Amino acid sequence: MILVTGGAGFIGANFVLDWLNGNDEAVINLDKLTYAGNLQTLASLENDPRHLFVQGDIGDRTLVGRLLQEHQVRAVINFAAESHVDRSIHGPGDFIQTNVVGTFNLLEAVRDYWNGLEGEAKAAFRFLHVSTDEVYGTLSASDAPFSESNRYEPNSPYSASKAASDHLVRAWHHTYGLPVLTTNCSNNYGPYHFPEKLIPLVILNALAGKPLPIYGDGQQIRDWLYVKDHCSAIRTVLAQGRLGETYNVGGWNEKANLDVVRSICSILDELRPKTDGTGYATQITYVQDRPGHDRRYAIDARKLERELGWKPAETFESGIRKTVQWYLDNQDWVNNVTSGQYRQWLEQHYGNK
């Protein structure tokens, strides 16, 4: 049995679905169900005995300790976090609470449990912490991509809180011997992405005839990875990663935000042409840049490729096409997460939660 935290969020839910698609080892899914958590993503698992959903906080040591003990968990994969940079600028408190204090409490609960294990169970146990490339700060156009030896230079409350959590995880390995692994991944995109993030926002606004907002000049560069490739990287690191190591995960897909938006527009022009004969790119609108907006992130994933043989299956072109098609085919999911009907659904299916 594995324990996944934050498994009702974008990446965590994709991970749970992929995991149960590929093998029969059961998953406990611990998620607080903040605005970003969406059990409807996991509706196909509703009657699946391999999926046990528990609503709760990673900071609740008693609950985490009980789940670990009761189910004799062999690995914890920590996705739970506050994850949206814009929200962290307007309200950093929740980010410190979950990403820093929550991770600390989770580590303590895991350490207690791990200390009580013996023999093979103790040797085989893993704690995998899922983190971001944003902890490394920003790059200029001529800098080499981030490698695992880059200094941490976080610039937003979000990235600072994730950097703090990475440091805690590292320290729990060096100080207490906890068998940890950390992954630092670039921007993900794909199915079930909450519509506040750039790619789903642009797809949905385009279809609704709304402006497609671009921060500043749109030349901020990000590396993009299809979410299912991130999930396969996590499975690889969990199975084969060296204890105490960090692994960068990326798709070798550096793109300026404006180019990402233009790609989406041209795929939509092809798949769902506008009736007025104009292209979706006419909806692009420039808005004031985010404060402290990092200019460029790029990730060097060669350690993971070389040591563990991982490679992404999708290019940006294939992944973005699949993503646009997914949003076209799954309007119900979109309507539910955007309309508040989702909350009603939750009450019907899970009582008071």
* Catalytic machinery residues: 133-134, 158
The 7-26 site mask, x for binding ligand NAD (CB under 6 A), equals: -xxxxx--------------
Site for ligand NAD in 109-128 (CB under 6 A): none
| CA 306 vs CA 139, 183, 247, 301, 303: distances in Å | 24, 15, 11, 9, 5
Q: Is 183 helix (H, G, I), strand (E, B) or coil?
A: strand
Least distance (Å) from ligand NAD to the CB of residue 311?
18
For the chain, the residue count is 353
Least distance (Å) from ligand NAD to the CB of residue 88?
11
Residue 180 binds to ligand NAD (criterion: CB under 6 A) = no
Residue 88 binds to ligand NAD (criterion: CB under 6 A) = no
| CA 307 vs CA 1, 79, 187, 234, 303: distances in Å | 26, 23, 22, 14, 6
Q: Which two tokens stand for residue 219?
A: 């030349």
Nearer to ligand NAD, 162 or 173 (CB): 162
Are the CB atoms for 244 and 173 separated by under 8 Å? yes
Region from 183-191, 256-264, 273-281, 330-338 binding ligand NAD, contact rule CB under 6 A: 183-191
Least distance (Å) from ligand NAD to the CB of residue 152?
14
- For ligand NAD, which residue of 40, 88, 150, 187 counts as binding (CB under 6 A)? 187
Residue 314 binds to ligand NAD (criterion: CB under 6 A) = no
- For ligand NAD, which residue of 29, 40, 83, 205 counts as binding (CB under 6 A)? 83
Are the CB atoms for 251 and 313 separated by under 8 Å? no
**137: region left, alpha or beta (phi > 0 left; psi from -120 to 50 alpha):** left
Residue 226 binds to ligand NAD (criterion: CB under 6 A) = no
Residue 337 binds to ligand NAD (criterion: CB under 6 A) = no
Region from 130-138, 171-179, 199-207, 316-324 binding ligand NAD, contact rule CB under 6 A: 130-138
Return d(Cα 107, Cα 182) in angstroms, integer: 13
